[in-house]
Amino acid sequence: MPLLLLVAGSAAIAAAGRRVPVPAPLLLVAAGLAVSYVPGVPDYTLDPHIVLPLLLPPLLHTAATDSSYLDLRAQARPVALLSVGYVLFATFVVGCAAYLIVPGLPLTAALVLGAVVAPPDAVAATAVARRVGLPSRITTILQGESLVNDATAITAFKVALAAAVGEGATWAGGIGEFLIAAVGGVGVGLVLMVPLHWLRTHLREALLQNTLSLLIPFVAYAVAEQVHASGVLAVVVVALYLGHRAWEVDFATRLQEEAVWKMVAFVLESAVFALIGLQLPVVLKGLGEYEGIDAAWYALAVFLVVAVARFVWVYPATFLPRLSARVRAREGDLSWKGPFVIGWAGMRGVVSLAIAFSIPLTVHGGEPFPERNLILFLTFTTVIGTLVVQGVSLPPLIRLLKFPAHDVQAETLAEANAQAQASRAAELRLDELLADERNALPAPLADRLRMVLERRRNAVWERLGQVNPVTGETVDDTYRRLSREMISAEREVFVRLRDGRYIDDEMLRTLLRRLDLEEAAAYRETT
């Protein structure tokens, strides 16, 4: 029952968040904080053995399949500098700062804290980027960073943790473990992606294909972790490949898959942010000697170090490579605004909390892990601080910086040209097919095929034309609206015939599905 209430409550709050100017992630965190103090609400302790293998793979999968492999490849350098370089830099800087700020905190434990709070969260980054409509290059960089940085952070955490618990970790061993995890994760993804895609394209039923789609991220993650490689990288590699070749899967699978993964992502993202807020009582119960002014000062100091360290890395990593004439020629002019937004968009999330909760209670000698509860507290305050301060201020910051708006006219023109080329190819193919007597059709049906092509070709060009002076609609918008009205009228007749027992429910479902597909074909997604 608590789990059902968590999912239902977080989904309801997330839905309400779409109707208010406050980002839904912040509403969910705030609701979780408030609910955590309601009498009778149980403690929701994040179990890393559940969060990492069960929540992280599907969230990474849906983010990666929605990303563009070609765009990520074009931005490989900034993505790599952020997802690997920045995470290691943040681990070291935050760890050293915490060691200097908190009396009695061992350096190894401080580096554990640094690794925990180093990675910006995939869920937080994509949620905010989607909401504020960032320029495509910045969105690609943030998405690419958030897809890969968890692997870097988890590996850095394992190395720092081994040193903290007394396993004698060395720098050489740590670098070796990182390389094994990274190369192994990519390798597992490369091995799995082709057979998984082959299986998807050879299953004949959409339900089976979508069942496989839901299993794929868990399979990739589990196989990689089984061989001590990075499950995160395995999931990302497989998902990028499947997303890049999604056009090879039949239309029914794509329609179902899109709806299924949207629902999965919505439920998981909502529950994840609510879980962050619900952690407060769990964290405060174990804070122990650190409380009041001291704890608040440590929390503020670590948050400031995390925020400032990102800018310290982002600007040199952005502009130093541009000392090369080749880089400047390839990337063109670059203002300070883009790096500033990237620097400010480093929200942390549930992955940091899940990693923190995986810190063992004791070290090898049996003594308590040094300042474990304080590390949990500082992780929680850093996550909340970045979500609240940076998450709330990011949309107005982007409006204040006045990034160039998307050139809708140019995008529509590119779409129209692409549709025109595709329609010409389809017409040539249709002529070839009709020339074969085995494909003979009555003239009205052949004309109908050509009319469908002409309608698709003209629809995009019409959006470039004049609008209706009365309604403000383009010709294409009017066509869509009238088409929907006609389909609605047909749907009402079918239901009335079913209610009058002229047709049965099975026939009704068949007729309604046919109308649904026509309506789906007639309308572009507008959200």
Q: What is the CATH number of the domain that holds 305?
A: 1.20.1530.20
pLDDT digits (tens), the chain, 527 positions: 566 777 788 888 877 767 776 667 778 888 888 888 888 777 777 777 777 888 889 988 988 888 888 888 888 999 999 999 999 999 999 999 999 999 888 999 999 999 999 998 756 666 666 666 677 788 888 888 988 898 899 888 988 888 888 765 566 677 788 888 889 999 999 999 999 999 988 887 888 888 999 999 999 999 999 998 999 999 999 999 999 988 888 877 888 888 889 888 888 888 888 888 888 787 777 666 666 788 889 999 999 999 999 999 999 999 988 888 787 777 766 788 889 989 998 888 888 888 888 888 888 777 888 888 889 889 989 988 998 888 888 888 888 888 776 666 676 777 778 777 888 888 888 888 888 888 888 888 888 888 877 877 777 666 666 667 777 676 667 777 888 888 888 889 989 888 888 888 888 888 888 888 777 776 654 33
Final residue of a structural domain among 442, 465, 488? 465
Question: DSSP assignment, residue 368?
Answer: B
Question: DSSP assignment, residue 321?
Answer: G
Is 459 in the same domain as 475? no
Is 425 in the same domain as 508? no
List all residues 6 or more positions away from 285 whose beta carbon is below 8 Å from its beta carbon: none
List all residues 6 or more positions away from 460 whose beta carbon is below 8 Å from its beta carbon: 412, 415, 416, 419, 476
- The tokens describing 227, both together, are 């061989």
User: How far apart (Å, rounded) are the C-alpha atoms in residues 496 and 508?
Assistant: 10
Is 461 in the same domain as 320? no
Q: With contact defined as beta carbons under 8 Å apart, do 457 and 427 qualify?
A: no
Q: With contact defined as beta carbons under 8 Å apart, do 419 and 457 qualify?
A: yes
Stated length of the chain: 527
- The tokens describing 163, both together, are 């040193």
Q: How many domains does the chain have?
A: 3
Q: What is the pLDDT of residue 444?
A: 85
Is 281 in the same domain as 216? yes
- The tokens describing 217, both together, are 């991220």
Q: What is the pLDDT of residue 525?
A: 40
User: How far apart (Å, rounded) are the C-alpha atoms in residues 62 and 501?
Assistant: 43
Q: What is the pLDDT of residue 313?
A: 96
Q: With contact defined as beta carbons under 8 Å apart, do 79 and 145 qualify?
A: yes
Q: What is the pLDDT of residue 527?
A: 38
User: How far apart (Å, rounded) are the C-alpha atoms in residues 240 and 225?
Assistant: 19
Instruction: Mark out the alpha helices in 345-407 (DSSP H runs).
Output: 350-357, 372-385, 391-401
Closest by Cα among 57, 20, 444 to 216: 57
Final residue of a structural domain among 401, 420, 448? 401
Q: With contact defined as beta carbons under 8 Å apart, do 119 and 54 qualify?
A: no
User: How far apart (Å, rounded) are the C-alpha atoms in residues 367 and 295?
Assistant: 23
**Residue whose token pair is 């010409």:** 424
Closest by Cα among 417, 524, 407 to 461: 417
Q: With contact defined as beta carbons under 8 Å apart, do 145 and 120 qualify?
A: yes
Q: What is the pLDDT of residue 222?
A: 95
Q: With contact defined as beta carbons under 8 Å apart, do 159 and 169 qualify?
A: yes
List all residues 6 or more positions away from 279 whose beta carbon is below 8 Å from its beta carbon: 32, 36, 44, 45, 46, 353, 380
Is 288 in the same domain as 435? no
Final residue of a structural domain among 347, 373, 401? 401
Rg (CA), the chain: 27
Is 261 in the same domain as 145? yes
Q: What is the pLDDT of residue 287?
A: 67
Q: Which amino acid is at 221?
A: Y
Is 433 in the same domain as 312? no
The model's pTM is 0.83
For residue 362, give the 3-state DSSP assignment.
Answer: strand
Q: What is the pLDDT of residue 2?
A: 66
Is 353 in the same domain as 414? no
Is 191 in the same domain as 60? yes
Print the domain residue range for 160.
Answer: 2-401
Is 369 in the same domain as 507? no
**Residue whose token pair is 């789990």:** 3
Is 31 in the same domain as 112? yes
Is 477 in the same domain as 457? no
User: How far apart (Å, rounded) are the C-alpha atoms in residues 169 and 356?
Assistant: 19
Q: What is the pLDDT of residue 132?
A: 66
End-to-end alpha-carbon separation of the chain, Å? Answer: 33
For residue 474, give the 3-state DSSP assignment.
Answer: strand
Classify each residue of 50-80 as buried b or exposed e, where b means 16 or more C-beta atoms within 10 Å of its C-beta. Answer: ebbeebbbbbbbbbbbbbbeebbeebeebbe
Q: What is the pLDDT of residue 193?
A: 95
